[in-house]
A and B are shown apart, each in its own frame.
Chain A
Amino acid sequence: MKTACFFPDRYIAVMIAAVITGLWEGLVHIGILSPLFFPPPTVIAVTLFRWLFNGKLTPHLAATLSRALTGFAVGALSGLAAGLTMGWSERVRTVTDPFIAAAHPVPKIAVFPLIMIIFGIGEMSKIAVAALSAFFPMAINTVTGVRQISPLYFEVARNYGAKPFKMFTRVIIPGSLPMMLTGMRLALNNSLTLTIAAELVSAQKGLGAMIWLSWETLRTEELYASLIITALLGICFNMLVQFAAKRLIPWQKGIS
C-alpha cells in the first residue's frame, strides 16, 4: 500500500546512504577513522574519475568482461542444452543425475589449479572456470523448469496433435523459460565471480588483478574504487537479465 508519505521509501534509502557517506568523510577528517583502511569517499571518487579519463580502467574492464561473458556464453549454452536434454528424457536424467549431484556442490575455484594445469595460465583457463561455474546453475534450473511444466499442457498439446518439434517450441521452451532466466542470472553472476577470483590469483589484467595490485601496493582508495566498479558490473548484469525477462516472459504475473 502506498501512503502519501512526505519521503517515499526509496528516498529514505538514498538519504541513509548519503548520511553514512557524509559521516564517513567527516570521521576520517577529524581523525577517528584511519584513512589507511577507510580512505575518504571524496578520494575514492577522485580515483574513479581519474581512471575513467586516463584510460587506466578500460583494458582491465574489457579483460574481465570478455572473460566473464565468453565463459558465460559457453557454460550457459552447454548448460541449456544439457538441461533441455535431461528435462526431455527420463533416461538421460537418470544417468546424468548422480554426476551433476556430485559435481555441482564442488566450489569451482577449488578446481582452478587443475584447470590451469590443463589449459595453461592464459585466457583459456579463466574462461574455462567461468564456463564451468555457469554450466551448473543453467543446467539445473533448465531441468527444473522443464520438469515443473504442468502435465496438463503436454496433454493439451498432444490432444491437439502436436508433433515433437512443436511440443518443444510451443510447450517445453516457453514453459521452462522463467526458470531458464533464473538459471541465466545465476550463471552470469557465477561467471563474473569466478572470473574475478581467477584474476586475483593469476592475471596481469582484469578487475581481479586490479584489486590484487591495490592490495599489494596498499592503495586502499584504488581497492575501494575497483570494488565499486565490480559491484556496478554485477548490478548491470542483473539488470540485463531482468530486462530480458520482461521482454521474453510477458505472461508472468508480477514481472510486467
Chain B
Amino acid sequence: MNFKCQELSKVYSPDNRTIPVLENVNFSVTEGEFVCIVGPSGCGKTTLLRLIAGLLEPTSGQICFNAGENRKQPRNVMVFQEHGLFPWMTVLDNVAFGPEMQGTGKHEGRELARSLIIQTGLADFSQCYPHQLSTGMHQRAAIARAFAADPRMLLMDEPFSALDAQTKLLLREELLRIWKDRRKTVVYVTHDIEEAILLGDRVLVMTGRPGTVREDIPIPIPRPRNLTDGDYPRLREIKQHIWKMLEHEVRQSLSRYR
C-alpha cells in the first residue's frame, strides 16, 4: 500500500494549553517499502504513527491512502514498544487476534497463528501468557501477531528499544526475514540512528518539536547490512550525516532536561 502525508500538522490541546507536536510533515511511502523514521525523543514520532494508523485525527493536512480495497485485510497494524499483547490471552490467542477480528474461522485462524509462532521461534511458548515471556519473546509475539493479521501495512513504534543489544540484533534479522517473505509496506519508527540505517530502504530524519521531516535519505545498499564490517563506508557516512543533523537537537533537549 502506498500513501502520502500532505502538510500534516498536529496540535495537542490538553486543559487549555496548546502543544504543537507536528508541523507541516510531508512525505510519501510506496508499496512494499521499508521506511524508517528517526528522530530524538519527544519529536512526535509516535504521534505521526498514530495519525497514519487512524488512531488520531490530524489538526490540519491529510494522509492520502492508495490501497486498492482488496479483501478484508486491515489497512494497517501497529506494533507497540512494549506491553502491547493482551495480558489475558495466551501467545496463541494473541497472535490469532487479527484473524479472529477479521472473522476468520477459529481453526483456520489458529493454524495461521501457529505457523507465525513457529516462524518467530515461539513454538514452545504458544500456551504461555505474556507475563511469562521475556521482553524479547514478547516482542517476537507482537510481530507474529502483526503479520498474522496480514495487514497492508505495518506501523512499528520503537518495537525493539526495550531490548538488550544482542536480542535486538537477532530480532532485526528475523523481522527482515519475515518482511522479505511477505513484502509488506513498513513504517518503522526509532530513535536509534544505527537501527534506522540498517533496516530501512529510506530514512526520514525528524527534528522538532514541533516535529517535521527534515531530510529523506535513500539507502540503496543490499541487506543484511553491517556497520562493523569494513564493507560499508557509505553507511558510516550516512550515520555521521544524520548524527550531525540531530546533534544540535539532542543537545538542546538534553539541556532542557538538565
Contacts and interface: CB of A to CB of B under 8 A. Distances in A.
A157 B98 CA distance: 9
A63 interface: no
B88 interface: yes
A174 B124 CA distance: 24
Contacts of A159: 53, 55, 74, 76-78
Nearest to A178: B88
Contacts of B78: 155-156, 159
B80 A156 contact: yes
Contacts of A158: 55
Interface in A143-196: 150, 152-153, 155-163, 166, 170-171, 174-175, 177
Contacts of A163: 101
A152 B83 contact: yes
Given A161-B74, A174-B88, A251-B131, A166 B101 contact: yes
A171 B74 CA distance: 19
A175 B88 CA distance: 7
Contact of B98 (A155, A160, A250, A253): A160
Interface string B141-184: 00000000100000000000000000000000000000000000
Contact of A160 (B87, B89, B131, B149): B149
B129 A160 contact: no
Contacts of B149: 160
A155 B129 CA distance: 20
A72 B94 CA distance: 34
A251 B87 contact: yes
A252 B94 CA distance: 16
Interface string B94-120: 000110111000000000000000000
Contact of B131 (A152, A177, A253): A253
A249 interface: yes
Contacts of A166: 100-101
A170 B87 CA distance: 11
A175 to B, nearest CB: 7
The secondary structure that dominates the A interface is helix
B86 interface: yes
The secondary structure that dominates the B interface is loop
Interface in B202-244: none
Contacts of B98: 160
Contacts of A157: 101
Nearest to B80: A152
B248 to A, nearest CB: 33
Nearest to B98: A160
A253 B66 CA distance: 44
B84 interface: yes
Contacts of B83: 150, 152
Contact of B86 (A161, A171, A249, A253): A171
Contact of A251 (B53, B77, B129): B129
A163 B74 CA distance: 13
Contact of B101 (A150, A160, A174, A250): A160
A159 B142 CA distance: 13
Contacts of A156: 78, 80, 84, 86
B102 A170 contact: no
Nearest to A251: B129
A227 to B, nearest CB: 40
Given A161-B101, A174-B88, A175-B88, A250 B129 contact: yes
A167 to B, nearest CB: 10
Contacts of B84: 152, 156
Contacts of A249: 88
Interface string B60-101: 000000000000001011101001101111000000011011
Contacts of A174: 86, 88-89
Contacts of B131: 251, 253
A160 B77 contact: yes
Nearest to A177: B88
A223 B73 CA distance: 69
Given A161-B102, A170-B86, A174-B89, 12 more contacts: A152-B83, A155-B55, A157-B101, A159-B53, A159-B77, A160-B74, A160-B77, A160-B149, A161-B101, A170-B89, A170-B100, A174-B86
Interface of A: 150, 152-153, 155-163, 166, 170-171, 174-175, 177, 249-251, 253
Q: When A and B form their complex, which 3 residue pairs have the shortest distance between CB atoms, in order from nearest?
A: A174-B88, A251-B129, A160-B101
8 contacts: A152-B83, A155-B55, A156-B86, A160-B149, A163-B101, A170-B100, A174-B88, A251-B131
